[in-house]
């Protein structure tokens, strides 16, 4: 009986020691996080990143560990890498990748996972690894509530799909941008890129429809000008010269585009008279 009580008391004492140790460790982790942030603010980003990493290694079960791991990757990739030569940036990106990847693996439910996935997508797309980039973007896109941010990621994904030869999936993502029905630069870019896809694919009528759809919406001056230029060029190829002239009339002539407008006007005239050369 006495041995049993001794064992119970020993377990309680050990538990108390562990609890105190964890509290001390948490306090130490907090101090290290503050010191890392101070180092980063002072321009000593690489030292800061290393210290953030030490926090994550030293106390993996601490509430601060996910934040520390994210800050490690963020500091290497966003703060330090842009300041370095190309060969050094490659090393820092690799270190950031490792930090973000471990964050996702070790703390899959934490609040930093979505941002880590977006940064990983950037890293992989920068190195041309579009398959891995898209894996991260696809995992993150569903949790993006802000419409403009969602459109931005969809546009990046469309570019990745295009570069990996998956134009059909690129078109789907561009359609997602348009279907969100939020005017702005990504909405306009989606229309313009879709029109290019259709034109290159030989679907000239669909390209015209896409450009007209954009021009019927709220659109910035620069996108409107670009859309009309493309529309005129396609209508000339389709030999719809009256429509081409009408679209050309909508273009605002500026010092920077005056020569282009004259070239388009001359092209319409020549083609309508049967001259095939530009």
The helix (H) or strand (E) run that includes residue 102 is: helix 86-106
Q: How confident is the model at residue 272 (pLDDT cuts 50, 70, 90)?
A: confident
Over range 48-53, report the average pLDDT. Answer: 94
- Express each pLDDT in 180-202 by its tens digit: 999 999 999 999 999 999 999 99
Q: How confident is the model at residue 17 (pLDDT cuts 50, 70, 90)?
A: very low
User: Does 206 score more than 70 pLDDT?
Assistant: yes
Q: What is the pLDDT of residue 10?
A: 45
Q: What is the pLDDT of residue 107?
A: 96
Q: What is the pLDDT of residue 62?
A: 86
- Express each pLDDT in 79-136 by its tens digit: 999 989 988 999 999 999 999 999 999 999 999 999 999 999 999 999 999 999 999 9
Neighbours of 21 (CB within 10 A): 10
User: Does 204 score more than 90 pLDDT?
Assistant: yes
Domains and CATH numbers, the chain: 28-143 (1.25.40.10)
| Residue the block writes with tokens 């995992």 | 139
Name which of 92, 70, 68, 67 is nearest 80 in CA terms.
Answer: 92
Q: What is the pLDDT of residue 28?
A: 79
- Contact of 186 with 220, CB cutoff 8 Å: no
Q: What is the pLDDT of residue 27?
A: 54
- Express each pLDDT in 61-92 by its tens digit: 888 999 999 999 999 999 999 989 988 999 99
Q: What is the pLDDT of residue 104?
A: 97
Structural tokens at position 268:
């319409």
- The answer to whether the pTM exceeds 0.85 is no
Q: What is the pLDDT of residue 59?
A: 83
How distant, in Å, are the alpha carbons of 189, 195, 225, 227, 253 from that of 256? 21, 24, 12, 16, 8
User: Does 12 score more than 60 pLDDT?
Assistant: no
């Amino acid at each position: 009986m006495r041995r049993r009580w001794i064992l119970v008391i020993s377990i309680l004492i050990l538990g108390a020691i562990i609890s105190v140790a964890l509290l001390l460790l948490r306090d130490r982790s907090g101090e290290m996080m503050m010191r890392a942030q101070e180092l980063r603010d002072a321009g000593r980003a690489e030292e800061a990143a290393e210290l953030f990493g030490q926090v994550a290694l030293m106390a993996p079960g601490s509430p601060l560990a996910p934040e520390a791991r994210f800050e490690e990757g963020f500091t290497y990739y966003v703060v330090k890498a842009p300041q370095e030569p190309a060969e050094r940036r490659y090393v820092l990106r690799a270190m950031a990748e490792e930090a973000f990847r471990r964050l996702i693996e070790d703390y899959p439910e934490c609040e930093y996972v979505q941002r880590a996935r977006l940064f990983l997508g950037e890293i992989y797309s920068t190195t041309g690894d579009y398959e891995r980039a898209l894996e991260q973007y696809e995992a993150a896109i569903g949790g993006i509530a802000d419409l403009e941010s969602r459109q931005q990621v969809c546009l990046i994904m469309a570019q990745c799909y295009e570069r990996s030869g998956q134009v059909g999936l690129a078109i789907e993502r561009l359609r997602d941008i348009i279907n969100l029905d939020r005017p702005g630069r990504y909405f306009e870019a989606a229309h313009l890129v879709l029109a290019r896809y259709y034109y290159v694919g030989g679907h000239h009528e669909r390209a015209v429809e896409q450009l007209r759809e954009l021009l019927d919406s709220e659109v910035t001056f620069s996108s409107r000008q670009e859309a009309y230029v493309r529309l005129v060029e396609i209508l000339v190829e389709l030999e719809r010269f009256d429509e081409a002239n009408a679209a050309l009339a909508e273009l605002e002539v500026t010092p920077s585009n005056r020569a282009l407008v004259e070239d388009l006007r001359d092209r319409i005239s020549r083609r309508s008279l049967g001259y095939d050369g530009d």
